[in-house]
Amino acid sequence: MTRFARLSALLLAIGAIFAAVATQAYAVNPEATIGGKWFSGSLLMQSGTNCSTAILGDPYSETMVSAIASYGGDSSGGVARVGNRYYASLLISVPGNPCGSGTSVIGTDLVLPRGTTVDTSAPIRCFGKPRNSNDFGELTGGIWTMPADMGGGSGEYCPATVSGPLTGYGQYGVGFRPVVSGQMYQIFVPIKSTQTLEGAAHSPADEITWILSSSGTYDQFGATKVWTNVFSSGGGSGPFLYFARNPSVVPFWDKTKPAGQENRAEWFANLYSDFKAGTFCWEYYPHPTATGSPQFTCNSPIVTWNGSVTNASDLWQIYGTGEGAGPNGGYVPPLVFDPSETGTVRWTFTPTSPPGPTIFKDVTFTTLSGPDNDGDGVVDAQDACPAVKGTESNGCQPAVQPDTDKDGIFGAADKCPNENGAGSLDGCPKAGALIGGDVGPIAGNKFKRKALVKGVSLPLTCRVNAKATGLLTITAKVAKKLKLKVKRKAKTVTIGTGTADCAGTGGGTLTLKLSKTAKKKVLKARKGFAATLTITFVRSGSTDVVVTRPLKLT
C-alpha cells in the first residue's frame, strides 16, 4: 500500500513555475539564451564499443550517444501559438568513448508535425559545452575541424539552412558534426505552425522527431521525440492540462533513501491556464482508475505544495526542488510505493478568477516490482546485468560487435569493412581522406644485394586502402661506376621495383626486387654503395604519400 516517506525534514518544495527547469548549472544556459518556456521529450541512448583496451582490457559495450528532443522559445514568451516563431531543439551528449578517434560523427534529421514548417526568417542556432567544462558557449557561425590523425575535414556546427534528409528517414537535414567524448551540443531550429497542435491527444500524436545517424554506435540510427502542443493565436480556448514527455510518470529506485523507502516515481505535468487564476493540484489513487476517494492529494499532511496560479502567465510547469527533485528534473512526491503497484495520478486545475469548473487529466502507471540498483528500469531480479546500466530489455548493454577497421561503423552499416572510414557515416573514406602510409623498420638501413635478387619483403601500413609502388634508386654517379646506362641529364637510375596493395586494416607487404637490366652489374660490384628506397602510396581523390629511406646495399 502506498505510504508517506518518514523524512527527517518534512519540507518538499514543489514549484509550479513559468520557466523550464535546467537540469544542470550553466554559465550560459542555451534555452534561457533563446528565451521562452521549454518542454523535453523521450531520451535516446545509442550503445557502442569502448575500444580503450590499453588501460581497460577487453573492449566492452557502453552508452555511446545520448540525445533528447525539446521544443519551446515562443516569441511571445508563453506557450507556443499559431503563427508565432518557436524552436525545435536537440541536446546531444557523448558519454562513451567511441572506437577509433574517440569522436562520434552525428548527422541530424528533423521531422515536424502537421502544419509546421521551418521559419527561414530566423537563424538556426547552436551551443556547445567542451569536455571537462561546465560552460556552454554559442557555436552559431562556427566551424569544426577534425585533426589530420582523426580523418581531417571541416564543416559548420550550425548549417545556415536545412537541407534534404541525411539519414533517408527524416524530413529536413540539419547538418552533421563530430562530437567528442564528454562533449555536449545543442541545436535550435526556428519553426512556425499554421494550426493548433494537440500533442498526445491527437491521433497520430503531434510530435517533433529528431533522427540521429551516429558513428561509433551499433544501431547507428535512433530517434527522440517530444509531444508538441500549439495553441490558438488569440487565446480564449479555456484551460488545458497536458504532457510533453512519454512516459509522463517514470518509476525509479532511489538508493539514497532509507531501506523500505526506495520505490519512488517521478511525475511531469503542464498547464495552459489561459491567463486564468486558480489552483493547480494532484490526487493519487492506488488503482488503475481515478475512482472513489484519493489516497493522497497535494493537500495531504507533510506535503508542502505551492499550487497557486495567477493571471500573470498562461503556462505553468511542475517540477521538483530539493528532496522533491527527480533524476530527470520532474517532481517526486513523498510517496513510497509497494512493488508492482498500479496507481493513477489525477492532475487538477480549479479556476478562481474568473471561477470555473475544475478540469483534470489522468495518468496511470505501474511501479517497479523490486530493487533496480543500476537505474536502468529493469529490476535486479530480472536484470541479467544488475551492476551495469543497460539499454536492452534484459538490463544489459548489447553484445560487443566487431569493428575490424576500428572506424566506429559496425556490421552491415560499414560499406568498407576492411578500410578505416575516418568518421564517415557509411564506413568508407571520403574523397581526400589521408592515406597515412608508411613502411616498417629496415634493420641497419641495409639490404643484401643477393637478397634483392629473390626479393626483399617490406611491411606496409596505411590509414585507408591505397596502392603502393616502391622504387630503389642510385645516383647517376654510382650508376656510371657500375657501368649502368644513364640517360642524358638523369640524376638517378632505378635498379629495383615492387608494387603492393596496402589495406587500411592489416596493411600490406611490398616485395622489392632488382630489375633484370641492373641485377648482374649490381651483384658484380666489389663494394657496397648507397641507394634510396622510395615508396609512393596512391588513392584516387587523395593526396599521394611519399616515403623515402636512405639505404646501403651490401
Quick: pLDDT tens for 499-510.
999 987 778 999
Cα–Cα dist 32/87, whole Å? 13
Write down the pLDDT at residue 147. Answer: 66
Claim to verify: residue 260 and residue 364 sit in the same structural domain: yes
Question: Are residues 220 and 81 located together in one domain of the fold?
Answer: yes
- Report the pLDDT value the prediction gives residue 10, as an integer from 0 to 100: 23
3-state secondary structure of 23: coil
Same domain, 65 and 127: yes
Q: Measured at the alpha carbon of residue 180, what is the angle toward residues 176 and 186, in degrees to the nearest 5?
A: 55
Predicted pLDDT of residue 90: 97
Beta strand 446-447 with 545-553 is parallel
What percentage of the chain reaches a pLDDT higher than 70?
Answer: 91
Among 317, 336, 368, the domain boundary falls at 368
Both 77 and 122 in one domain: the answer is: yes
Asked, for residue 401, whether it belongs to a domain, the answer is no
| 288 found inside a domain | yes
Residue 27 domain-assigned (yes or no):
no
- The whole-chain average pLDDT of the chain stands at 87
Let me know whether 150 and 223 are in one domain: yes
Q: How many CB atoms lie within 10 A of CB 213?
A: 25
| Inside any domain, residue 314 | yes
Q: Are residues 62 and 112 in the same domain?
A: yes
For residues 256 and 136, state if they share a domain: no
Three-class secondary structure of residue 90 per DSSP? strand
> Lowest-confidence range among 20-29, 150-159, 454-463?
20-29
Residue with the bigger pLDDT between 16 and 356: it is 356
Residue 402's pLDDT is 82
The verdict on 147 and 55 lying in the same domain is: yes
Q: Is the pLDDT of residue 111 over 70?
A: yes
Amino acid at 295: Q
pLDDT of residue 123: 96
pLDDT recorded at residue 13? 27
Q: Specify the range with the lowest mean pLDDT, choosing from 85-99, 135-149, 270-284.
A: 135-149
Residue 150, classed as helix, strand or coil, is: helix
Of 428 and 236, the structure prediction assigns the larger pLDDT to 428
Mean pLDDT, rounded, for 480-498: 92
24 — pLDDT class (breaks 50, 70, 90) = very low
Determine the number of helices (DSSP H) and then strands (DSSP E) in the chain. Answer: 5, 36
In a domain, 389, yes or no: no
CATH number of 105's domain: 2.60.40.10
Amino acid at 509: T
> What is the average per-residue pLDDT within 367-375?
95
- The CB-side HSE value for 59 (13 A sphere, CA atoms) comes to 20
Which of 492, 502, 451 is CA-nearest to residue 471? 492
pLDDT, greater one: 268 or 23: 268
pLDDT grade, residue 1 (50/70/90)? low
Work out the average pLDDT over 364-369: 97
Grid cell 521549454 is found at 38
The pLDDT value given to residue 420: 77
184 and 147 together in one domain: yes
Distance CA 516, CA 250 (A): 78
Residue 272 lies in a domain: yes
Residue 301 carries which side chain, given as an amino acid letter? P
Percent of the chain with pLDDT over 90: 61
Query: Are residues 51 and 8 part of one domain?
Result: no
Q: Which residue has the higher pLDDT, 114 or 506?
A: 114
Backbone conformation region of residue 73, classed left if phi is above 0, alpha if psi is from -120 to 50, else beta: left
pLDDT value at position 77?
A: 78
Q: Say whether the peptide bond before residue 59 is cis (omega within 30 degrees of 0).
A: no
Within 13 Å of residue 67, how many CA atoms lie on the same side as its CB?
28
Confidence category of residue 317, pLDDT binned at 50, 70, 90? confident
Domain extent, residue 523, equals 438-553
Helix (H, G, I), strand (E, B) or coil at 409: coil
Question: Which helix H or strand E contains 197, and what residues bound it?
Answer: strand 197-198
Using the 3D structure, point to which of 329, 347, 368 is the last residue of a domain: 368
d(CA 485, CA 48): 60
pLDDT (tens digit, 9 = 90+) per residue, 3-22? 655 332 222 222 232 222 22
In this structure, what C-alpha cell is assigned to residue 96?
Answer: 562513451
- pLDDT at residue 236 above 80? no
User: Terminus-to-terminus CA distance in the chain, angstroms?
Assistant: 91
Return the CATH number at 523. Answer: 2.60.40
pLDDT at 148: 58
Residue 395 · residue 388 · CB < 8 Å: yes
Going by C-beta distance under 8 Å and a sequence separation of 6 or more, which residues neighbour residue 482? 474, 518, 521, 522, 524, 525, 529
Name the least confident of 23-37, 114-128, 336-350. 23-37
Contacts 24+ apart (CB under 8 A), 120-123: 120/161, 121/85, 121/190, 122/85, 122/190, 123/158, 123/160, 123/190
As a whole number of angstroms, the distance between CA 385 and CA 97 comes to 20
Kindly tell me if the per-residue pLDDT of 158 is higher than 80.
Answer: yes
Residue 146 has pLDDT above 80, yes or no: no
Question: Do 230 and 243 fall into the same domain?
Answer: no
pLDDT band for position 304 (cuts 50, 70, 90): confident
Residue that terminates a domain, selected from 234, 257, 275: 234
pTM, to two decimals? 0.76
- Decide if 15 is inside a domain: yes
My answer on whether 151 and 242 are in the same domain is: no
Q: What is the pLDDT of residue 57?
A: 65
Q: Are 180 and 94 in contact (CB under 8 A)?
A: yes
Q: Backbone phi, then psi, for 193, in 5-degree steps?
A: -115, 140
pLDDT recorded at residue 12: 26
Interval 41-66: pLDDT, tens: 989 999 998 876 555 567 889 999 99
Instruction: Domain count for the chain, please give it.
Output: 3
User: Per residue in 383-435, pLDDT tens?
Assistant: 999 999 999 999 999 999 888 887 888 888 888 888 777 667 778 877 667 77
Q: Which of 157-161, 235-239, 357-361 has the lowest mean pLDDT?
A: 235-239
Cα dihedral 308, 310, 315, 317 in deg (nearest 10): -20
Q: Is residue 417 part of a domain?
A: no
Instruction: Select, from the ranges 4-8, 27-31, 327-331, the one with the highest average predicted confidence (pLDDT).
Output: 327-331
Range in 244-248, 478-482, 513-517, 542-546 the model is least confident about: 542-546
